[in-house]
């Protein structure tokens, strides 16, 4: 269909008449797919050269907000491309031990995730390498979180994402930050049906339900789900929403706390404690 409509790609045919695409075609098609994944229309970009497509990918990336750690990013990307999982595990583990679990989640992983996302956007790393990155970071965070003996902390926080959201690193990063503040976190992993979030919150006597929405999650679907969940959850249960997508929410729903920045979760936790301490003493 693109051949007919845009004259690209324009494959040659083999003896059996099968289309044969050059490596340049593949690189350009992958770059076009990555830009379509972030919402661009093929008609607008199909005639662009690979350099123009990559420039668009760079221009599309949100500007860095925090001090990058380029050295570690370059090292991690090199290990991913070398498929050296053992070295990656060691590097992430050492960095976590050197800087501590909370700083690792707050200061190191945000820029590192961003760099991995951009390397994928530019076609520098494959999807399977992105998966390896995710698994290794998850393993490091879990090891850090479970280094703390499980304590009956408070508040009790339920962590999950809604169906359609596969990104689970945000949940683990929040758990890492809150575990260091003495909260008791229960994670259901990703993609829990909305009504099951409500039932889990009741079953686990949860104080705070914390949901994660990455940049690509449909805005309207998120705001509708948050409004419905707010109505369904008991008034005493606080509802947090975080992740890059929440930066785009303009109309806040009463009773839904928007936390696009991970660091804001510490402040939100402290205000929850002071609020409930006050109401407990009433």
Question: In DSSP terms, which residues pair with 119 in a beta bridge?
Answer: none
Q: Which is nearer to ligand B12, 11 or 163 (CB)?
A: 163
Burial readout 112-124 (b: 16 or more C-beta within 10 A, e: otherwise):
bbbbbbbbbbbbe
**Nearest distance from residue 247's CB to ligand B12, in Å?**
8
Site string for ligand B12, 255-274 (x = CB under 6 A): ----xx-x--x---------
Which residues make beta-bridge pairs with 13? 19
Nearer to ligand B12 (CB atom), residue 4 or residue 245: 245
Give the three-class secondary structure for 236.
coil
Instruction: Select 11 or 189, whichever has its Cβ closest to ligand B12.
Output: 189
Residue nearest to ligand B12 (CB): 242
Site string for ligand B12, 127-166 (x = CB under 6 A): x--xx--x-----------------------------xxx
Question: Pattern 92-111, binding to ligand B12, x per CB under 6 A?
Answer: ------------------x-
CB 72 within 8 A of CB 95: yes
Task: Annotate 245-269 with b (16+ C-beta within 10 A) or e (fewer).
Answer: bbeebeeebeebbbbeebeebeebb
- 258 by DSSP, 3-state: which? strand
Query: For residue 200, what are the contacts with CB-CB under 8 A and spacing of at least 6?
Result: 158, 160, 186, 188, 192, 206
Determine the Cα–Cα distance for residues 91 and 13; give it in Å rounded to an integer.
Answer: 47
The least distance separating ligand B12 from the CB of residue 258, rounded to whole angstroms, comes to 9
Q: How far is the CB of 183 from ligand B12 (least distance, A)?
A: 12
Positions touching ligand B12 (CB under 6 A) are 37-38, 61, 110, 113-114, 116-118, 120-121, 127, 130-131, 134, 164-170, 173-174, 210, 212, 214-216, 240, 242-244, 259-260, 262, 265
């Amino acid at each position: 269909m693109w051949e007919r409509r845009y004259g690209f790609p324009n494959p040659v045919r083999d003896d059996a008449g099968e289309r044969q695409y050059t490596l340049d075609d593949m690189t350009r098609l992958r770059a076009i797919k990555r830009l379509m994944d972030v919402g661009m229309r093929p008609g607008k970009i199909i005639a662009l050269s690979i350099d123009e497509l990559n420039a668009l990918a760079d221009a599309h990336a949100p500007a860095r907000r925090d001090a990058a750690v380029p050295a570690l990013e370059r090292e991690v990307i090199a290990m991913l491309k070398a498929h050296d999982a053992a070295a990656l595990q060691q590097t992430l583990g050492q960095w976590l031990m050197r800087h501590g679990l909370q700083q690792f989640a707050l200061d190191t992983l945000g820029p590192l995730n961003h760099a991995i996302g951009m390397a994928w956007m530019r076609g520098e790393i494959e999807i399977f390498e992105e998966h390896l990155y995710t698994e290794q970071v998850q393993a490091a965070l879990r090891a850090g979180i479970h280094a703390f003996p499980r304590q009956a902390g408070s508040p009790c926080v339920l962590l999950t994402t809604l169906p359609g959201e596969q990104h689970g690193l945000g949940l683990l990063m929040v758990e890492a930050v809150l575990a260091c503040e003495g909260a008791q976190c229960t994670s259901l992993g990703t993609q829990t049906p909305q009504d099951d979030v409500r039932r889990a919150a009741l079953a686990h006597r949860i104080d705070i339900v914390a949901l994660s929405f990455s940049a690509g999650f449909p805005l309207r679907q998120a705001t509708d789900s948050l409004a419905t969940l707010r109505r369904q959850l008991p008034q005493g249960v606080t509802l947090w929403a975080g992740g890059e997508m929440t930066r785009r929410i303009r109309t806040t729903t009463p009773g839904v706390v928007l936390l696009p920045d991970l660091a804001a979760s510490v402040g939100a936790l402290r205000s929850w404690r002071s609020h409930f301490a006050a109401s407990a003493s009433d």
